[in-house]
Amino acid sequence: MKIHIKRGVLKEIERRARQSYPLEVIGFLVGRPGSGIKYPMTVTGVVWPRQIRETDHVYAMKGEYRKACRDATVLGTVHSHPDSDSPLPSGEDHCDDADRRLMAIISVFKKGVGGETATLGTRIMFWEPMKEIKVREVR
């Protein structure tokens, strides 16, 4: 699967994940579904429903999903893994996202030593169920 991402979307995802740290953040990837190699799927933005609390289940937001679908075509989801340097899907991620075409995970982790002085690092990867996908940022 080939995916294009509108310029600025990756920076927006990173900014939102850093702002929400240490809480997890979730959003819906929106854009054009595409139809093959000549016209690839294009992520044009992210709809950020709300910041979740630790007691919330990441994908227990059916109402939020319906709201996002009203204004755009939802291609998949993005969520953060706070305090993890690996954006690999967990077993729960695979189960929860099995019906979606696209999933992005951004890990947010402290770099360096010292609680307050440590900076936040991030790493993002895109997945279709059980398989990593390479993406290309476009204008």
CA distance 87 to 36: 26
User: Residue 48: which domain range?
Assistant: 3-138
- DSSP 3-state of 131: strand
- pLDDT band for position 109 (cuts 50, 70, 90): very high
CA distance 85 to 124: 10
* 79 CA to centre of own chain: 4
How many residues are given for the chain? 139
Q: Pick 63 or 125 by higher pLDDT.
A: 125
pLDDT at residue number 55 = 47
Type of residue at 30 = V
For the entire predicted model, the pTM comes to: 0.77
Type of residue at 41 = M
Among 53, 61, 58, 44, residue whose Cα is nearest residue 20: 53
Pairing of strands 102-111, 119-128: antiparallel
Residue range 42-87, pLDDT digits in tens: 999 998 876 555 445 544 555 666 666 676 788 888 999 999 888 8
Joined tokens for residue 60: 């227990």
Is the confidence at residue 135, as pLDDT, over 80? no
- Specify the number of domains making up the chain: 1
CA distance 28 to 67: 10
pLDDT at residue number 41 = 85
CATH of the domain at 115: 3.40.140.10
